[in-house]
Structure 1
Amino acid sequence: MQAPSVGGVMLPRGNGETVRLSRGASLTDFAEKINANPASLVAVMMNLGEMVTATQSVSDETLQLLADEMNYTVQIVSPEEEDRELLEGFDIEFGEDEGGEEFLLPRPPVVTVMGHVDHGKTRLLDAIRKTNVVAGEAGGITQGIGAYQVGTEVNGEDRKITFIDTPGHEAFTAMRARGAKSTDIAILVVAANDGVMPQTIEALNHAKAAGVPIVVAVNKIDVEGADPVKVRGQLTEFGLVAEEYGGDTMFVDISAKQGLHIDSLLEAVVLTADASLDLRANPEQDAQGIAIESHLDRGRGAVATVLVQRGTLRVGDTMVVGDAYGRVRAMLDDKGNNIEEAGPSTPVLVLGLTNVPGAGDNFLVVDEDRTARQIAEKRAARERNANFAKRVRRVSLEDLDSVLKAGLVQELNLIIKGDSSGAVEALESSLLQLDVGEEVDIRVLHRGVGAVTESDISLAMGSDAIVIGYNVRAVGRAAQMADREGVDVRYYSVIYQAIEEIEAALKGLLKPEYEEVELGTAEIREIFRSSKLGNIAGVLVRSGEVKRNTKARLLRDGKVIAENLTISGLRRFKDDVTEIREGFEGGINLGSFNDIKIDDVIATYEMREKPRA
């Protein structure tokens, strides 16, 4: 019924009815639901002390405030429900195998390796794949996410197993949780010399919450002080009872470093799958699955590692992954070979998407390009509205403590850029979970894959945000703009350093003693081969000056390719020199590092002591 509201504005009053709205809805959306004039809702908000336009995306709290004033109950639709309703509008069912039992065929189990940091998860996968992954990781911690398929023989039969390589540090809690949800079996790695640790319990809880069977790999049995029996006793307290003790959990003693009993572990995974799970899928329907990882490749554009969960994905199919879509131009398996099709439980690298999707986004194959574009655009618009609804307020980590005490800001705004979507999402999730009390909120205004750009700096300027670059840098005019406008841009190569520094700043404990100062950048124009010195980069110094014996990093398309390099040789024509200034050409030798390409950028820097405030 109609009743006068505050200020004499006539509008319908509710009787506690529930109004369903999507994230980032506007007052106009609310007005349509209750058959009211949007202008009247604007007036109500003004009387409540909030200046909001009719078409502006507003926060959930604002919608709740308005609903309470008008005696309605607001229900904000979750992202999962939004997506399900969106796909229903296109007559698409996601997450179900089509047809009856006769269409379902056996598929390989999908396995996630979990456990405490440094207990040997990556080395185990290394032993299984017989490749070297650990050597290329910062701090020995898995920084990227991939998926791999291996074969093993069980009872004379060839069987396949798909492994999802989720990062191992505690920073990746959300990634590990999602990994458990997309997998059939979890391998819990426990070091025989350390025993059960905090992250072991955390990983165990994720696996239990997802309802997946667990196989325990007791690693490092070759290390001094190893006690596999103790590990079995400790895990009994958490409900994992070994088969030899009358339980139903398979324990396998292994040494990933020595390659001991790896076959026994793979056999245990297959036997557990056969005993506990009915792993079947319909390979004939349109493919559906999940994106494990995605990134922007300089030569190939947006690429995504996807895990097919049902159906068969073929080259030429039109697929939509999150808010990205495209026709599959090519597919590569985990060994880098081109393949034409991928069935259930097969991980593949897909080329041909319009942009980089998020890790964990669902993918599906549709009949027409137009349908894929419409689904992707609606998803993107929905996410954009949700982001617009977030309130924004510029501040650096050093002065955050004083600003908080002065009451000038109650939230820390962040912009996160990284080299892969999985790492960006994991970093965002970990930062949002920091427990820093009720005085301050962390808000991620934007996250993305690729170098820090001018638009990122512009957003940071308008919202007092701090930019975090994870394995990427600000390039060209973006770096100059950040310096000119005083935007705080932080660079990290190991993810927990970012988390520790942000947490320290929020708690007022950040007192850096040293800061990194960029000395100069040089663009590689030519490469000369020397039998004595290796590769020598012919460069043009773009900014500042390049000095001999200073530290350097190599950037390729804005991404950090190598850290902790040293300018070991510097030449102008045939003369050895100590420095080359901006605008001049010269030759640079990076010591034993030879992986350089034309258009790469060598950025030199030094650590300078910073006076404490």
Structure 2
Amino acid sequence: MTKIRVHELAKELDVSSKELISVLEEEFSIIVKNHMSVLDEEDAALIKEIFADKEKKTTSADDEGLVSVVDEYENEVDKKISIEEKKNRNKTKKSKGKKSDETDEEEVSDSIEIGETITVKEFADKIHKPITEVIKQLMFTGVMAAINQEIDFETAEKVSERLEVQLIKKIEVINAVGEVEEEVEFESEGNEKRPPVVTVMGHVDHGKTSILDAIRKAKVTESEAGGITQHIGAYTVQLNGEKITFLDTPGHAAFTTMRSRGAQITDIVILVVAADDGIMPQTREAINHCKAANVPMIVAINKMDKEGANPDKVKQELTEYNLLAEDWGGDVICVPVSAHTKEGLDTLLEMVLLTAEMEELKADSKRKSKGTVIEAKLDKGRGPVASLLVQNGTLHVGDSIIVGSTYGRIRAMFDDKGKNIKSAGPSIPVEILGLSDVPAAGDRFNEVKDEKTARNMADKRKEKIREERINSTSRVSLEELYNQIKEGKVKELDVIVKADVQGSVEAIISSLEKLSTDAVKVRVIHGAAGAINETDITLASASNAIVIGFNVRPDSNAAALAETENVDIRTYRVIYNAIDDVKSAMIGMLEPEFKEEVEGTAEVRMTYKISNVGTVSGCYITNGKVTRTSKIRVVREGIVVAETEMSSLKRFKDDAKEVAQGYECGITLEKFNDIKEGDIFEAFKIIEIKPKEL
């Protein structure tokens, strides 16, 4: 029996894969994993018939409703005519004379909104008054200000009162540390479809840049030293009228460095694996980095034109990392390609667009722009140059932006082909000029009202960075885990394992993962044989993980980076010591239980009032014992009247640590003197029940 894929059937029916999947589940109770799942020919034929019936019904309904459609059209025409008449009437009113002009000005200028400060010229324009009149009124209020000089809101308010204009103070959306707070109307990401942003990762010489080169038909590899990508670039290609943005990075290191700065810019990862080579160490690292970022992955099995190419071997090796190819019953899309012959590249791009469709990537092009810095440099002739990826909104030439701790007004903007452009929408990479300084890759940018606002925010951020350096707090460590959990952090411990041999790595990973419980989860995000290097520290920094090394040491660069990034590195010679340390940290992560334990009771037989001391009660221990550290609950006729601590416990004139049943003693209480004969003192303590061993 022949079968058909969901996305192929969706294309035939001219609907999206997402819509078809929901129809299959709701109307046919057919559960499918994703757009790559297969359907039987019988089911597909039935679905086609039902869709055809729906189309017929829709057509007939349209015919029936033709009259109503015509009526609606006529109504719309009538509305437009009435609007035009209103406009004409307004024009006639405006041309009636000077008096009506002044009235209109008053209506326009009623309730003007300005910020904390404003220049004299801007203020005059806002209230529709001549500059000379504004300057004259300023002089009457005792302020001598030139046309381009700034005045504060209080001064502007005084002038506006004289000119009979009402002012409203505009509240800036900038918080105390110079962060851009989103306006309420822009909380949603919008409903416009945006191009997917794709990162290509994989092992050295597996053909990452060659695939990109073949896709965009630009000879990038020829200009690069030794065929290695030396910079971070971004390129946009088109397929069937839809755009795809590719990030050409030097690999997973840059991907994770950006993520460590909070820049989750990648929507889809293409993992390039050579068909004649299989999974290599850097491929393994790329898989772990991709999983840590929780980004959908498409595997491109490259070099299919070479002898010895074996895609099944690659798929087999992928299963070792819990990645099962879709044609083997899994959900990972694997596409055989060849950068040399361009075989399978169109299929790869189609799979990218299908994955993007399933991810439902949306944006709002009408809002203020925001995004991320892909790369930045200082050019001798042009000054600071930054490559930005617009993630939401539309960026225009002339916009003021805040980027990390730098700012600027965009003087010029270029697309990925070097062409001068005026604006860029969501998921479009651009190169800009006009920043005050060179930002760092991964810094976020936000469009703000004006350059002055951007400068003030940048200053606040710089101040915040200085304070953070002074009061730098450490990242997660085994000692700090319990404190971080008390502060409300997630009960999850991310670990990176490095060992001298692969066998030890697997043994440690297996032992650590067995420690996971319902309360605390241990997640090994990366494990490999070899020394602890900078890549491990970068991943740990991005994922807030600890690094465990067995029979290995960090190299000098890794140790220096770990100190800078405050990453906890633990090295061991015995596996069980590593397991015990993690187990202890996990027990610390479990919140302890507390239980009250009654130690004894005492009856008040007599009371004495002593100045500067308070009420001393003469007690007889009726049950158990009373210790100096006991908490006391005062019970009167079965009702608790106070709960406090003991300030002193004495036997005759001497202080006592504890008094047992059958003995008399003197007790004074903290901040409670209303003690009466016959009161019962219940001595108790709160004990902590430690979590059980995992």
Between 1 and 2, higher relative CO (CA 8 Å, sep ≥ 6) is seen in 1
Instruction: Work out which of the two has the higher radius of gyration on C-alpha atoms and give 1 or 2.
Output: 2
User: How high is the TM-score relative to the length of structure 2?
Assistant: 0.43
